[in-house]
Structure 1
Amino acid sequence: MHTELVSEPGDPARPNEDFAAVALPASGQGGSLVVLDGVTPPPGDYGCRHSVAWFSSRLGGALTELSVSERHLTLSEALAQAISRTAASHAQTCDLSHPRTPQATVVLARWCAESVEYLVLSDSTLLLAAPDGTVTTILDDRLSRVPRATLTSATLTDATLRNQEGGFFTAAADPSVASRAVTGTVPRSSVHALAALTDGATRWVEKFHEGDWADLLAVVRKEGARALIRRVRTLETSDTDRTHLGRSKRHDDATVVYAEL
C-alpha cells in the first residue's frame, strides 16, 4: 500500500479550505480516502459564524471516521450522517437555511479485499487506474452543464441553481443531498490505483489543457502530487492575460490524494 497526500492553499495568507485524509484501519483490511473542496462564499454575510475551513474540517473528519468505523453504511449514508452531525454542531448559532451556509464538494472512496466503492458530489474528481493502465474518470458534471451566463451573478446562482433541481449540489446542511451524489462499486481487482483531486489541481486538464486525465495521473505517479501542483502554479502565473483562467481565481486551493492499492 502506497499513499501520497498534498494540499496547498491558493493564497498563503488565507486558510486552506480543502480537506484531505486517508484512513487505513489497524486491521489492515482496506481503507478509505476523503477529499473536500470548501466553497468560498462571496463577500458579505452568509449566515454562519464559522469559516468554510472550519466546516470542511468538521465534515471531513466525520466522513473519515464514519467511512472506516461504520462499514455497514453505504457511502451515501455515511455522507448523510456526516452532514447531519456537522449541521447539528452549529444549528443553534447559525442560519443553516442561508444558500451560502458553509458547504463543500466531496470525493469519498473506500476499498476492501473484494471491492472499491466511490462517491463524488460536485466538481472535484476521482480517477481509477486499472492494472492495464486504463484510467476511468468519475465526475459529477452537473455544474459544467449549467449555462455559464447564469453563474456570473452569485445572487442568481444561489436563487436558481445552488442545491436545486436543474442546477448542482454540494454538501451543506441538508443530508438528503447525499442521494444526489454520483456513486458506484467496482471490483478491487480492476483498480490498481486511485487519485482524488480538487479543482485547483485539475486545472492542469480542465483549464490549461496540458493533457488528458491519464496524462495527469501519469504525472502524479511518476513525479508526485506536489509536482502536479507545482506545474499548475507555473501555468497560473504565466497566464497573465487570463486566456485560460478567465474570471477564476489566479490561484486556488489545490489538493491531490494518490493511493496504490
Structure 2
Amino acid sequence: MRTELVSEPGDPARPNEDFAGVLLPASGRGGTVVVLDGVTPPRGGTGCLHPVPWFTARLGGALTELTVSRPDMPLAEALTRAIGRTAADHADTCDLSHPRTPQATVVLARWQSDTVEYLVLSDSVLLVEAPDGTVTPVLDDRLDRLPRTALADEAAVDALLRNREGGFFTAAADPAVAARAVTGTLPRSAVRSLAALTDGATRWVEKFGEGDWTQCLAVVRKEGAGALVERVRELERADTERVFLRRSKTHDDATVVWAEL
C-alpha cells in the first residue's frame, strides 16, 4: 500500500480551511481517507464564534474516530454522527440555524479486505482507478447543475439554495444532510487506487481544462500529489486576465490525497 497527502493553503497568511487524513487501522486490514473542504464564509456574520478551521478540525476528527473505530458503521451514518457531535460542541454559544454557519464539503473512502466504500457531499471529488487503469469520478454535481445566474447573488443562494431541496448540500449543523451524499460500495478487487481532491486541486480539470480525470490521476501517480497542486498554482498565476478564474479567488486551498490499494 502506498499513500500520499498534500494540502496547501491558497494564501500562506491565512489558515488552511481544508482537513485531510489517511488512516491505517492497527489491524492492518484496510484504511480510510477523510477529506474536507471548509467553505469560506462571506465578510458578514455567520452566527458562529468559531472560524472555519475550528469546524473542519472537529468534524474531521470525529470522522477519523468513527470511520476507524466502527468499520461496521456505514459512512453516511458516520457522517450523521460526526455532524451531530460537532454541532453539540458549539450549540450553546452559536446560532447553528444561520445559513452560513461553518460548513464543509466531504469525501470519505474506506477499504477493508473485500470492499471499498465511498461518500461524496458537495463539490470535492473522489477518483476511483480500476486495475485496468480506467478512472471513474465520483461526483456530487448538484452545484454544477445550477445556472450560473442563480449563484450570482450570495444572499439569494443562502436563502434559496444552500442546504435546500433544488439547491446543493454541505456538511454544516444538520445531521440529516448525510442522507443527501453520493454513496456506494465496490469490490476491493475492482479498485487499484483512490484520489480525493478538494476543488482547489480539481481546478486543473474543471476550471483550466488541462486534461480529463484520467489524465489528472496520471499526474498524481507519476509526478506526485504536490505536482498537481503546483500545476494548478502555475495556471492561476498565469491567468492575469482572469479568462479562466473570472470571479473566483486567485488561489484556493488545494488538497490531494492518493492511496494505492
* TM-score, normalisation: structure 2: 0.99
Q: SS of 2:100's equivalent?
A: coil
Partner of 1:176: 176
3-state secondary structure, aligned to 2:259: strand
Correspondence for 2:219: 219
**Which residue identity does 2:89 align to in structure 1?**
S
Match of 1:138 in 2: 138
Query: Residue by residue, what CA displacement relative to the aligned partner does 1:16-66 show, whole Å, maximum 9, x if unpaired?
Result: 000000110011010100000000011011100000011001001110110
**Partner SS for 1:65:** helix
Residue of structure 2 in register with 1:115 after alignment: 115
Give secondary structure in 2 for the equivalent of 1:109. strand
Residue 157 (1) aligns with residue 157 (2): yes
**1:208-249: CA deviation from partner (whole Å, max 9, x where unpaired):** 000000000000000000000000000000000111011100
- Looking at structure 1, the residues matched to 64 and 183 of structure 2 have their Cα atoms a distance apart, in angstroms, of 17
CA distance in structure 2 between the partners assigned to 1:230 and 1:48 by the alignment: 34
Paired residues, number: 261
Instruction: Give the unaligned 5+ runs of structure 2.
Output: none
Q: How does 1:1-261 map to 2 (within 5 A)?
A: 1-261=1-261
Q: C-alpha displacement at 1:148, in angstroms?
A: 0.7
Supply the distance in 2 between the matched residues of 1:247 and 1:201 (Cα, whole angstroms).
Answer: 17
* Runs of 4+ in structure 1 over 2 Å off: none
Compute the displacement of 1:193 (Å).
Answer: 0.3
Tell me, in whole angstroms, the C-alpha distance in 1 between the residues paired with 2:148 and 2:35: 26
In structure 2, how many angstroms separate the alpha carbons of the residues matched to 1:29 and 1:221?
23
Root mean square deviation, CA, Å = 0.4
What's the CA shift string for 1:113-165, capped at 9, x where partnerless? 10000000000000000110000110000000111111111100000000000
TM-score using structure 1 length: 0.99
Secondary structure at 1:257's aligned position in 2?
strand
User: In structure 1, what is the Cα distance between the partners aligned to 2:45 and 2:164?
Assistant: 21
Deviation of 1:101 (Å): 0.1
C-alpha displacement of 1:84: 0.2
State percent identity of aligned pairs.
Answer: 74
The alpha carbon displacement at 1:71 in A equals 1.4
In structure 2, what is the Cα distance between the partners aligned to 1:186 and 1:210?
A: 29
SS at match of 2:186: strand
In 2, Cα distance between the equivalents of 1:72 and 1:26? 16
* TM superposition shift of 1:73: 1.0
1:194 aligned counterpart, secondary structure? strand
